[in-house]
Amino acid sequence: MTTPSRGKTFLLVVIVVALLGHIPLLERAIRIAPNAFGNDKISRHEKRFDPVHTEVAGIGRVGYVTNLPADSISTDPIAVEHFYIAQYALAPTVLVLDTDTGLVIGDFSGNGVPSRLSGLKVEKTLGDGLFLFRGKNQ
């Protein structure tokens, strides 16, 4: 063997040994969470918003309403989480906390649409608590 071949062989042995040291870690990760990929909270919300994403594709800005109190969206951790997960799932469309945008996304937990949305009409029910609304003048 020439010197360059020994160097390459040594490097290959080091790489193989390093990779073999990670096998127990990989096995442990597979045992702990065999179906975790694509089943985490963010992935589930992204899947939930797939029908909305299709509807708002190409629209730069849409409104966002929820059955959580409007002032809680900036203070309540759960409301903040819901809003930002929705924003993440619908990017590049920008969500705004406004109903004067023409198209408004309703993100509701529980059943039905809150009565305080009397200025909006349901354009489409997307399931899983998601609705598309239009203003009465739109």
For residues 7 and 73, membership in a common domain is answered with no
Structure confidence by residue, pLDDT tens digits, 77-99: 888 888 999 999 999 999 998 88
Helices (H), 1-138: 3-20, 23-32, 41-48, 50-56, 77-90
Q: Check whether 57 has a pLDDT greater than 80.
A: yes
For residues 27 and 46, membership in a common domain is answered with no
The percentage of residues in the chain with a pLDDT greater than 90, rounded to a whole number, is 27
For residues 93 and 66, membership in a common domain is answered with yes
Domain enclosing residue 48, as ranges: 41-135
Band (pLDDT 50/70/90 cuts) for residue 37 is low
Strands 130-135 and 120-127, how do they pair?
antiparallel
For residues 28 and 47, membership in a common domain is answered with no
CA–CA gap between residue 99 and residue 120 (Å, rounded): 8
For residues 111 and 64, membership in a common domain is answered with yes
For residues 129 and 71, membership in a common domain is answered with yes
Mean of pLDDT values over 29-45: 72
Q: Structurally, how many domains does the chain consist of? A: 2
For residues 26 and 70, membership in a common domain is answered with no
For residues 11 and 46, membership in a common domain is answered with no
For residues 18 and 50, membership in a common domain is answered with no
For residues 75 and 126, membership in a common domain is answered with yes
